[in-house]
Structure 1
Amino acid sequence: MTATSATLTAMPISTFLAADRAIERVVSSVPDDGWGVVLEPVFASDPVGRRPVREAVAHIARDEAWIPSQLAGETMAEAGEPEIGAFPDLAARARAAAERVDDLAGTVHCSFGDCSVEEYLWQLVVARTLGAEALARALGTPSPLDDELASAVLVGLGSRAELWRQVGILLPAGEPDSPSPRDRLLAMCGL
């Protein structure tokens, strides 16, 4: 199957929307006794390592709060400290900002330096996708990662995975349990 250039252009946005909805579903389903459950790290570069669900969700919520200003081209200093509110509201605002993106080559001013909007969206996609999977695993709930989302993430991550592994972002790759897109993605990411 050959994708059109319009499909490829829209892919980081539509994949971000799907990944963000996936993590929102898992966050919304955390039971009262699940907030203290400890998550395993999903990135080699995670300076915190294992952390309770409460801390992981707070980190993701802060990240969600930054997305609108980041996609609008503001620096973190210009944006100021974002107000953290209810996760569904933060996620809805982040998705609305992504839907307004009209230039994937635009610049996002991240804490580590500048990158393109497209690269920023793929970073968010991978963080949301792996975060949702880690939360679901820790809570013993069904994986939110279906083959459609996994296939889209594989497209975006495929050309980046080895570089991200070399710079210490991704864990060492493993062997997939099956040829499904979900299992291939999780193995690529070392999960």
Structure 2
Amino acid sequence: MAIQQLFISSNEHLGRVVDQIRPDQWALMLPERASRNPQDLRAAIAYHAFDDAWVPDVLAGRTAEEVGVRFEPILDSADPAPVYRDHNQRARDAVAAFDDLEAVTHLSYGDFPAREFLQHVTSFRIVRTFDVARLIGVDPAFEPDFLRAIESEYEPLLEQYRAMGVFPDPIIVDDAAPLGTRVMAMFGRD
């Protein structure tokens, strides 16, 4: 599965989980492993809307200086779900139309080929889908083909991501564990 499709699928998965957040759950706090800073669901989903808002501009090669602060009000959304849905769709549309994986993208932490940008964002979506689903008590509903593609894409990258402090150490699980358990354990989730 191409990285563009992995990004689109990971955004679809997160979107389906966000759609299941009940009104009384928005103040739930993400567990420490899921967020470096204490964060409730409202702030986490507003951040994902903010993150998705940037995707079309990042893929177009724009810098933070060029984009400015126009997306910052998203972070204060009183109702982040519809804002998230809108930007999630825009991000998926931009990625579906994008094919220059070697194009340079300008991120807050450096310049990277578009392929790496999409890998970074996709990995974040995968773990956030799992974390939010677990917090609100729903199934992330990752399909086996999607999980196999994630395992193939990220197994060679995770040591590098851990060295950068992006993910914790893996959780050790038996080789016979279900595919979803093994893949999330790679990302340090149990």
TM-score (norm 2): 0.88
Q: How many aligned positions are there?
A: 179
Aligned counterparts of 1:100 and 1:143: Cα–Cα separation in 2: 26
Moved more, 147-156 or 66-75: 147-156
Q: Deviations over 1:38-88 (max 9, x none)?
A: 112456xx541x321111111111101111100111011111224437211
Return the match for 1:37 from 13, 20, 28: 28
Aligned counterparts of 2:67 and 2:59: Cα–Cα separation in 1: 11
Matched, 1:69 2:57: yes
Say whether the 8 Å CA contact 1:42–1:131 is kept in structure 2: no
Return the match for 1:87 from 84, 108, 114: 84
Return the match for 2:4 from 9, 13, 30: 13
Structural mapping, 1:1-191, within 5 Å:
11-42=2-33, 46-48=35-37, 50-83=38-71, 84=74, 86-176=83-173, 178-191=176-189
Say whether the 8 Å CA contact 1:42–1:130 is kept in structure 2: no
- Paired-residue identity, %: 27
Aligned counterparts of 2:70 and 2:150: Cα–Cα separation in 1: 28
Aligned counterparts of 1:76 and 1:42: Cα–Cα separation in 2: 28
Which residue in the other structure is 2:78 paired with? Answer: none
**Runs of at least 5 residues in structure 1 that lack an aligned partner in the other structure:** 1-6
Aligned counterparts of 1:161 and 1:115: Cα–Cα separation in 2: 17
Aligned counterparts of 1:81 and 1:58: Cα–Cα separation in 2: 15
TM-score (norm 1): 0.87
